[in-house]
Structure 1
Amino acid sequence: MIEFRPLPDDHPDLAHSPMLRAALLTLQYAQEHGSIGLTKTKAFKRVFVHWAVEHFGWPGQSAEEMFRYNKVINEYEFPPLEVLHYLLVSLRLGRHYKGEFRLTKRGAELAQSPGHLFAELIPHFVLRIEHSSYQRFDDRPFGKWDVWMNVINVEADHGTTEAALFQAFYGEPKDWHTAGWREMGAFSCCVLQPLEWAGLLVQTSEKIDHVPVRHVFKTPLWRSALKLDTDDMLRPISVQ
């Protein structure tokens, strides 16, 4: 069972969620400017895409790096924004009207309420979206969220690695530099990355003996926002 706890608007752990931050900025931008312009294909126009790249502060996709290789960026070239756009429309927080993205009454209310927006947005994003649909890996890993999150809850409680998590679920030692890189890619992109975008996990990388290793940690938001069946299996964090 997965339960998201309600959090007050001023809860400090909400700051860990890149997707929540991006949603708040987008809703507030639309509120301040009256709307966001759309292209003929109903994507956000480049002027807003560039603004989003500069202001979202997305992990691993800094504005400096993105504009270094692309002077013009479209919505589809910034996947977090493309996914967020879909979420806001599907949750009826915004709508397309006469070539513009405009807030609904509900969207305008949640633009000023981070805790309520988190409760509306993040469970739907993590648990309801088909994450393989916007990834470079078409394959979807075998499993379901109830199992994935309850196992990660225990395995990553004091930190673990991407490869160790994969082996915990599937019993095979695979990684990005082995023959099983596609299976690792599907697992990482469809399970770990959505949890990182939601702000529940954070990943770091290093090289050990010239081999890249990805470490996975639960953020404070995981501990404050989630109630899981395996919570009683967790060991207390020791304070030195």
Structure 2
Amino acid sequence: MITHQLARSLPFMDPTIALHKPIDPCEHSPLIRGLVLSLNYAVEHGGIGLTQTGAMNRKFVTFAANAFNWPGYTAKELLLVNKVLDEHKMPPLEPIHASLRHFKLVRRYKDKLRITKLGKNMLKDPQDLFDLAAPVYLYRFQHAPPARQQDYLAQFWHVFLNVLNLEAEAGCTVRDLMRILYGFEDTDNRALTYCESRLELKYDILKPLCWLGILREDREGRDLLEDGIYYKTPLWYAALHLESDPEVGLRRLS
């Protein structure tokens, strides 16, 4: 079970995330695909237009909604609840915008974000872009909103990844992971600690892994309120070496 006390007492090391097999990360990673499409847009349009407040303008947001093919945030899905698309109405643009600026792939010039020399170099090989952005996005980006920020969770990425390495091989649900990681059973689902832990697991751990593209959620046949089944993607196998890999010889953690 993951606790605040355990977080303070255990040393940790984030598993290395870097591609060791040839693969196109854009095929599996919404984040990398979004970065590449954004950089290409900046090349073709002389930059990404900004509003007076510094947000990406509606022209680019509309392009992103149509082009990114981001699960759960396609133009069709977004326009069901929004008449117009501003940056803050498309949540995936938060890590995209932050990553473009953080890694200096673009620079602001007047009312546009213009691609830099580094950004042009990264366009030549998305694998290099994945190696640059993936560990920072997963381990250092603040995935939780301010009201739910829990710094202690960041100390346990090695636990989450090793458990998922085993459980998501054949597919697992949030319910499965709640039992394995926290010791919760279905009868605990009305307890406050259960609800808080489930929220953190689903949105601060599983969602970033899916947005990075090393995990995917299969939602076929499920409504909006139902959780899907989580599976590892080919990008997982190409980017991670973990203590729980079969060749290491450790027993199943669950």
Q: Which runs of 5+ in 2 are unaligned?
A: 1-13
Structure 2 residue identity aligned to 1:67: L
Shift of residue 181, structure 1, vs aligned partner:
2.9
Shift of residue 166, structure 1, vs aligned partner:
2.1
Structure 2 residue identity aligned to 1:19: L
Structure 2 residue aligned with 1:238: none
Structure 1 residue aligned with 2:55: 43
Shift of residue 5, structure 1, vs aligned partner:
3.2
Structure 2 residue aligned with 1:79: 91
Q: Quick check: 1:215 aligned with 2:229?
A: yes
Equivalent position to 2:238, from 215, 221, 224:
224
Higher strand share: 1
Structure 2 residue aligned with 1:145: 157
Shift of residue 185, structure 1, vs aligned partner:
1.4
Report % sequence identity.
36
Counterpart contact for 1:93–1:106, Cα < 8 Å? yes
Structure 2 residue identity aligned to 1:46: R
Structure 2 residue aligned with 1:189: 203
Structure 1 residue aligned with 2:4: none
Equivalent position to 1:112, from 108, 113, 124:
124
Q: Which runs of 5+ in 1 are unaligned?
A: 236-240
Query: Structure 1-normalised TM-score?
Result: 0.86
Counterpart contact for 2:138–2:212, Cα < 8 Å? yes
Q: Hey, what's the Cα distance between the residues in 2 that align with 1:222 and 1:130?
A: 21
- Of stretches 45-54 and 152-161 in structure 1, the one that deviates more from structure 2 is 152-161
Distance 1:65 1:164, change over 3 A: same
Q: Per-residue displacement from partner, 1:99-123 (whole Å, max 9, x unpaired)?
A: 2111111011112211111111112
Q: Per-residue displacement from partner, 1:172-231 (whole Å, max 9, x unpaired)?
A: 1369974433321121100000000011111123779xx934311111110111111211
Q: Quick check: 1:130 aligned with 2:142?
A: yes
Please state whether the residue corresponding to 1:96 is helix, strand or coil. Answer: strand
The number of residues matched between the two structures is 230
Q: Hey, what's the Cα distance between the residues in 1 that align with 2:37 and 2:237?
A: 25
Query: Structure 2-normalised TM-score?
Result: 0.81
Counterpart contact for 1:92–1:107, Cα < 8 Å? yes
Equivalent position to 1:163, from 175, 182, 188:
175
Counterpart contact for 1:154–1:234, Cα < 8 Å? no
Equivalent position to 1:62, from 60, 63, 74:
74
